[in-house]
């Protein structure tokens, strides 16, 4: 139904307008009697073989929604009904901010891809925490945190700690995002020394808690093998619970979309099918170099059950969808979970 009816209509709208249209209508329809049960019957798939325990958390299935879709924790109950095993909200910053100027989200249908330069648009950590306190489902929630655009890199750690403290009681794990290409100079924080200092400060706040939460780091697909080795060293030094691999890419290699169209779109992070191979390479490299000791959430270019299986066989403990969810619709979650059971992975 999605690909035959809804997708053609949604793809006639501006990409960000379509996103808000889906959000508003899913929220309204979910309130109607019987809708939650209907969504679960259509898109849910439960099986004991899907259950995973990763970094101390029990996931009902390993298919999650990546950060960037539900930035403000508005639809966690609705997304749980669509069959996801976990939802990562954000990226959340301490203070609300509008993000970059529109248009800032673009489809590349020939490539099954998106380009975004959203710029961490969100309503702030306090608003997200308030919504999470009101949710009814028990789905696992990840909190993806970043810095405000106007915060200098030298003061970035304070922003991450502030969001961490605000969200701590309402999320199950945290992801430090220093790999988005859409906040000026943010990726400089991926360099070894700044990153160690940043993660140490967040972990200091974390380990001060009675029950610390798993802390992960989201990395870019554009890192070299040497930089990935540094990430593994940093993960050990700062006692990270895992990694999220990968974020969007700034590369534009081997795309079917005409060069003129790409030029008119301009800067931004590329996600979707063109990222599949590189994201899998990064996952495999990290898994092999770490000896499988560091759990990895695999994300990037998953548009089919085969894509998800590829990530898991490369070493991902869990996977996340974003662009594939937009192109393929909610049935993709069920198809992946069914394939995982059939493959016994």
Which of 41, 137, 179, 180 is flagged as catalytic? 180
User: Which positions make up the binding site for substrate?
Assistant: 71, 116-120, 177, 182, 247-248
What are the backbone angles phi and psi of residue 100, rounded to the nearest 5°? Answer: -80, 165
Q: Active site includes 290?
A: no
Binding-site residues sit at 67-71, 91, 116-120, 144, 177, 182, 218, 246-248, 272, 301, 322-323
Read off the tokens for 336.
Answer: 């992946």
Burial of 308 (C-beta count, 10 Å sphere; 0-12/13-18/19+): buried
| Residue 156: burial class (beta carbons within 10 Å; 0-12, 13-18, 19+) | buried
Question: CA 42, CA 136: separation in Å to the nearest integer?
Answer: 20
Q: Please give the positions annotated as active site.
A: 180
């Amino acid at each position: 139904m999605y690909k035959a009816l809804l997708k053609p209509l949604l793809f006639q709208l501006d990409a960000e307008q379509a996103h808000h249209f889906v959000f508003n209508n899913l929220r309204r329809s979910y309130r109607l009697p019987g809708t939650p049960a209907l969504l679960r019957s259509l898109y849910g798939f439960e099986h004991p073989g899907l259950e995973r325990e990763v970094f101390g958390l029990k996931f009902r299935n390993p298919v999650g929604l990546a950060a960037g879709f539900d930035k403000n924790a508005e639809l966690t109950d609705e997304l749980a009904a669509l069959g996801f095993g976990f939802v990562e909200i954000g990226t959340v910053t301490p203070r609300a901010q509008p993000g970059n100027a529109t248009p800032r989200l673009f489809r590349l249908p020939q490539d099954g891809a998106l380009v975004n330069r959203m710029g961490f648009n969100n309503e702030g950590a306090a608003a997200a925490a308030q919504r999470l306190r009101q949710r009814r489902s028990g789905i696992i929630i990840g909190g993806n945190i970043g810095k405000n655009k106007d915060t200098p890199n030298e003061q970035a750690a304070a922003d991450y700690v502030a969001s961490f403290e605000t969200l701590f009681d309402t999320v199950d794990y945290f992801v430090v995002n220093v790999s988005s290409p859409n906040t000026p100079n943010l990726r400089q924080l991926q360099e070894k020394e700044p990153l160690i200092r940043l993660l140490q400060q967040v972990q200091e706040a974390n380990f001060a808690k009675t029950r610390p939460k798993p802390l992960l780091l989201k990395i870019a697909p554009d890192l070299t093998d040497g930089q990935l080795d540094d990430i593994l060293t940093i993960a050990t030094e700062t006692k990270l619970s895992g990694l999220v691999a990968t974020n969007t890419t700034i590369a534009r290699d081997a795309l079917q979309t005409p060069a003129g169209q790409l030029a008119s779109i301009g800067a931004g992070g590329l996600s979707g099918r063109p990222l599949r191979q590189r994201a899998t390479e990064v996952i495999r490299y990290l898994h092999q170099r770490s000896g499988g000791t560091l759990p990895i959430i695999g994300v990037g270019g998953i548009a089919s059950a085969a894509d998800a299986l590829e990530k898991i066989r490369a070493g991902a403990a869990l996977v996340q969808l974003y662009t594939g969810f937009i192109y393929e619709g909610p049935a993709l979650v069920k198809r992946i979970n069914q394939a995982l059971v059939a493959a016994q992975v």
